[in-house]
Every structure is written in structure tokens, then in C-alpha cells.
Structure 1
Amino acid sequence: MRLSPSLLALLAVTPALAEPKVLVDLPPVHSLVAQVMDGVGTPTLLLDRATSGHDLSLRPSQAGAAQEADLIFWVGPAMSPGLEKPFETLGENARIIALMEQPETLIIDSANAEAHLHNGEEEHEAHDDHDHEDHAEHDHEAHDDHDHEAHDDHNHEDHAEHDHEAHDDHDHENHAEHNHEAHDDHEDHAEGAHDGHDHGPEDPHVWLDPVNAQAWLPLIAKALSEKDPENAEAYSANATRAAEQLAAQTTEIAATLAPYEGREYLATHRAFAYFESRFHLAPAHALSGVDGNAAGPRAMEEVRLAAEEGITCLITEPDTSSATVATLTEGTALTAHGLDPLGRDIAPGPDHYSTLLQEIAATYAACLK
């Protein structure tokens, strides 16, 4: 059948539906979103290489991206508190999804991180059987009353993931399907993991557990599909493929690090608890907690004493000063190995997250030999 010239002209000027405008906070999360959007569009990344994730805020030049966004994916206010209010005001027309607040996300409470990590074997076994597919379609929109205790007046009906100031009425005992105690993989959590009790501040470096990342991929695909149903099939296929690849990589990393399970080391920042717990690693001391605040003399002394007891591996970060590294290693057998939990030296994009995991695993293996 031949189309008339007038119909052809109409089709020529009819614009195709544009892909969603997506804004993402950190490079690892951006990488996951980019994988799901592969072949459809490209998400916008907020963080530059000079900024810490804890200090991330919305620059004036980025305000337009927030205002125009259809979807915003971010870890949440525990990681980047400076983004919360700008997102709520400038991103009022966007659907804002805090991945740390999703019920599928494994959370470590930072106040008990060391106890949690030293019970890593129990923790790891408890999470190996987590079926994220069973929860892949769960969303905050389906949990209007979810209570994160620190957020008080959240209106889930308007923006399920948007407002972090309130989650008033969630009863963790009455909603067993979303209670970490009720999941097979969560029931044996050590003290540092979520079990419906108040353990203290939550460790926000949630992307460093690849099982969390696997859980987020279908959530990302679902959110994109709701904004762009025309490409839903592509989003779903991309998420499935990415999850399979990530599961295979997780198995490979576990095999690489198996010889070093339980071998103690030192760190300048307690940023890798999720990775350490997943792969049975055992930090002895860290200079600073999950918030990255500067260490005091007592913390420095504890690390020095541990080094004098024969520990040889020190994990540092780009923000660690050379003077601090020198103070810790001088006169000891410590060898410093640098790691960035955000992978700021890795090119952003779909391959960023897998490259980051591989670099972390290789660095731990080299340091712990």
C-alpha cells in the first residue's frame, strides 16, 4: 500500500517521543541507570571528580537539569544531605527515587559496623539466598506508610520516593514482607544490619554491595518504563542482562577474595563495609567512620598500635592526606593501597560499576597478600 504525500508529510513532522530526562547523583548509580537506558537515552551525572559524595550539592549550573528531570535517582540524604532540599524544590515535577530507602536494599547501621563486619560469615550466608526478583516490582508508591523513623511527614501518595522528611506510620511488625527480619536473607543479620530496631546512623555506601545493585536494576527499569512505556521492553531486557552479568562478576570476585577471608587490615575511612561484608573481609580499625569525618589522635593511635601487631595492609582513599599515610606507615610493615568508593578516576558510563568492583577486588587482593 502506498501512502499519500499528505500522510507522508504528516509522519515526517510528527516528533518521536523523547526519552525521559534522568538525573543521577553518583557515578556507580549513574552506571546502573546507564546500563538500563542503553540504546534509549543517556542519564545526566551530577558528581564531578573533585567532589566527595558526602559533600555533594546542587550547583547553580545544575539547577536546570533538576527542574527539567522526569526521574531522579540518588542514594539518599544519608549519603548526600545537601541534595535533599534542592531536589524537593527544583525537582518537584520529577519522580525522585532514593535507592537507599527501597525495601530491597540491604542496610548496615554504621554504629555497629565493626561488630557487623566481624560477623561477616553469618551475614554473608544469610544474604546469599535473597530473592530480589520477588521484590523487583516493589516501590515506595506501594508502601504509603513506610516509616524510616527519621522522616516524619512523607506523602507517599504524591511522590513515593520524593519527600524524605516523613515516613510516619509504617509498622515493621505488621508488614513482615518488608521487614528485614522476615526475609530469609535478613533474619541472621549481625548487629549492624537492619532488623527493625534503632541501631544508629545508617551506612550510606550501599552501592558497594553488588547484591544491592542487582536489586536496583529492575526497580530502575520499572520507573523508566512508567515514564516511557514505549521503551519498556528495552529497559526490562537491559536490566535483566545487567543483573545476570553482575551476578556472574560477584561470583568471580568471591572466588578471587576467598583466600583472604578473615585476614585483618586497616583503613582510613569506614567506607567499604558493604563490600567487606559481602566478601568476608575483616578490617581491624578505621581512622574515620562512614561519614568520613577527620580522625582524632586516639583513632590514629589505635591504627598505629594495630600496625605494630603485625597487620601489613592499609586501605586509603584519595582524600587521605599524604601526611596521614606517612604517620601511619612510618616504622611499620604497613603498605598503603588506595581505593575510591565512588570510582571517580573511572570514566562514567555503563561500564563504570563493573570496573569499580573489579578495581576494589584487585586492590584488596594485592594489599592482603
Structure 2
Amino acid sequence: MSAVKFIALLLLACVYTSHVSATPRVVASIAPVHSLVASVMRGVAEPELLVSAGSSPHAFALAPSDMRALYDADLIVWVGRPLERFLVKSLHTIGNPGAQVAVAELPGMDLLKLRRDGVESGGGFVESRATRGADPHLWLDPRNARLIVTYVARRLAALDARNAQQYAVNARATIARLNDLDARIERQLAPVRHLPFVVFHDAYQYFERRYGLNTAAVIQSDPEASPGARWILDVREAIETEQVRCVFAEPQLNSALVNTVLEDSGARRGSLDPEGADIASGPEGYFILMQRLADSLHGCLAKP
């Protein structure tokens, strides 16, 4: 091959590489956030998911390949300190805070405080004396999801002007779908919103508030620690006094505790998953997750 041809091919390769790398490299921490980002990027590129479906962000550890993805990313979208503690030190090490988006800190994000997941004698929760920070499960309110979509679309357009119009079109379509989903779930759950139920851990506060649901107790107040005997007795008492119809387990967590609180109670067993452990990653994931939550709640609570 002549030197002239070699140089020409090299220049062509450089042009091609520059064109390909113009598309932002995006990393999203957990599946629900990844799904919303993927919806905005549909038809342009696919974001990388850090915490794979079925893994818990409470116990996740970064692999070397994860660190490389974070170093190479043009945009990192995560919930924030309350959820992905494993990311805090790594993101500080990487630097470049302008590439990092903690959605819990977005202007206008509607956050709820963490609850001390106790049960009052009259039912309901007792607020923590000291603020323990924000409840990180903010994606379970579609209004917060809309805010994430809007902000991510703007950031992507700033990074990738060539595809800015596509990001805007995708964002509008995603927000329209979120509005439809929100209205549909509200109608679906209206007949059961007053009926008390018990959940495995306190991950559903945003969903409860949005749709007016009635959680009577939580089995495991801390996802990283097992409850004591006194706590389990309090939950069993709440099931009896509140006439709880359903106790919801979670696929990633200890189902033996659910069996313990259900024993001789007459309540039914259901399943809820705030992160979609068995849902394929991608633009549809968020919508499937939210609809499954609504279907599971309605399916169990609506039975006489």
C-alpha cells in the first residue's frame, strides 16, 4: 500500500471515529432511571446500565469494568447519596462533577423524607425525630419521572447538538406516555385506595402518596438489617387491628419474614418490586414496572 493511500485511510478512520464518538456515552445507575434515559435516547444510542436487574443498589460493588464505564462517560445519571452509596467515593475520584446528574438534587424534584417505619397504635407511621435524609425511591411518582426526562433531554441536547431534535421528540413522547400511565393507574387503584396493606420494606412512599394508598406497616425498616422479634410482633398486631388484606413480599429480599408475619393472620400474600428485578432493561422498563405495581396491588386488595 502506498504512503498516500495509507494516509488517506488513516484520515478516513479518524473522521469516522470522531463521528461515532460524537454520540454521548451515558451511564445510568439503576434500571428505572436507565429506562427513562433510554426513552430519551431512543433511536440515537443506548445508555449503559450500572446496577443490573436483580441486583440491589444497597449491596452493590463496582467492578473494574464499571469504573472504566464511569471514567469514559460523558453523562452519569444516578439517584444520589441516599440510594447509591457505593457510587459516592468513585464519582469523587473520577471528578468532572459537570458530567454527573444526581436526580434527587434536580430543581423542582418533589422529595419525601425517610420515615421511621414504625406503626402507631392508631395505624400509620411515626416520623423520625432527626432527619435522615430523603427517601430515594423518587421514580415511583410519575411526576418525578417527567422531571427526569425533561432534564436529561436538555443535557443530552447540550452534549449532542446533532441529535437535539430527536431528544426533544423522544422526551415529548415519553412525557405523554407518562401522563397516560399516571391517569390509568389512578383510575385503577381508586377503588382500593382505602384498604390497608403491609409491605416488606418502605420503598413505596412516593407511589402511596401519588395514588392515596394506605400502608399499615413495614416488615423490614432497614433493607440492610433484619428486624427484631418486638418489631415482628408489632407488625402482626397491625395486621390484626387494621384488618390488613395483603402482605407484599419482594423478590430480592427475605421471604421467610413474610411467612412469619402472615402465619395465622388470614391475610393474603402478594409481591411488589420497586426496581423491576425481572424486567428487561430499556425504554419500556419503567412503564412495565409501574403497571405491575398497580396490577399487584389491585389484584390482591380487590379480592373480598
TM-score calculated relative to the size of structure 1? 0.72
- Code of the residue aligned with 1:85 in structure 2: it is K
CA deviation vs aligned residue, 1:322-356 (integer Å, no higher than 9, x gap): 32122111111111111111101000000000000
Across the two proteins, how many residue pairs are aligned to each other? 287
RMSD of the alignment, in Å? 2.8
Do the aligned residues in 2 keep the contact of 1:256 with 1:361 (CA within 8 Å)? yes
- What is the 5 A alignment of 1:1-369? 14-15=15-16, 16-18=19-21, 19-90=23-94, 92=96, 95-111=99-115, 199-289=131-221, 291=223, 293-309=225-241, 310-369=243-302
Q: How far is 1:17 from its partner? A: 4.7
Deviation at 1:55, TM superposition (A): 2.1
Letter in 2 for 1:344: A
Structure 2 CA distance, aligned partners of 1:241 and 1:272?
A: 26
Shift, 1:111, TM fit = 3.1
For 1:297-330, what per-residue CA distance to the aligned partner results, in whole angstroms no more than 9, with x for missing partners?
A: 2221111112223212111112332321221111
Distance 1:66 1:259 in 2: 45
Secondary structure of the residue aligned to 1:23 is strand
Equivalent in the alignment of 1:129: none
Report which of the two has the higher share of helix: 2
**AA at the equivalent of 1:238:** N
Q: Which letter maps to 1:332?
A: S
Give the distance between the partners of 2:37 and 2:118, measured in 1 at CA: 31
Taking the aligned partners of 1:207 and 1:314, their CA distance within structure 2 comes to 22
Contact 2:272 2:296 in 1 (8 A): yes
Distance 1:346 1:322 in 2: 20
Q: For structure 1, which runs of at least 5 residues remain unmatched after alignment?
A: 1-7, 121-190, 193-197
CA distance in 1, matches of 2:224, 2:210: 21
Which deviates further from its counterpart, 199-208 or 53-62? 53-62
Aligned AA (2:236) = R
Out of 93-102 and 23-32, give the one that drifted further. 93-102
Mark the CA change 1:354 to 1:290 in structure 2 (over 3 Å): closer, same or farther. farther
- The 1:54/1:9 distance shift into structure 2, 3 A limit, reads closer
Q: SS state of the match for residue 48, structure 1?
A: coil
Residue deviations 1:163-210 (CA, integer Å, cap 9, x gap)? xxxxxxxxxxxxxxxxxxxxxxxxxxxx97xxxxx7432111111111
Q: Aligned partners of 1:290, 1:108: CA distance in 2, in Å?
A: 17
Specify whether residues 95 and 212 from structure 1 end up closer, same or farther in structure 2 by C-alpha distance, changes over 3 A only.
same
Structure 1 contact 49–345 (Cα < 8 Å) conserved: yes
**Deviation digits for residues 47-94 of structure 1, max 9, x if unmatched?**
123421222332222111011000000001110111111122135386
Deviates more, 1:318-327 or 1:38-47: 318-327
Closer, same or farther in 2 for the Cα pair 1:356/1:93, shift >3 Å? same
Q: 2:140·2:207 contact (CA, 8 Å) conserved in 1? A: yes
Which of 39-48 and 53-62 deviates more?
A: 53-62
Structure 1 residues 284, 49: closer, same or farther in 2, change over 3 A?
same
TM-score normalized by the length of structure 2: 0.86
Query: Could you say if the C-alpha distance between residues 322 and 93 of structure 1 is closer, same or farther in structure 2, counting changes exceeding 3 Å?
Result: closer
Give the 3-state SS of the residue equivalent to 1:65 in structure 2.
Answer: helix
* Counterpart residue identity of residue 304, structure 1: R
Q: Distance in 1 between matches of 2:293 and 2:65?
A: 32
CA distance in 2, matches of 1:201, 1:288: 18
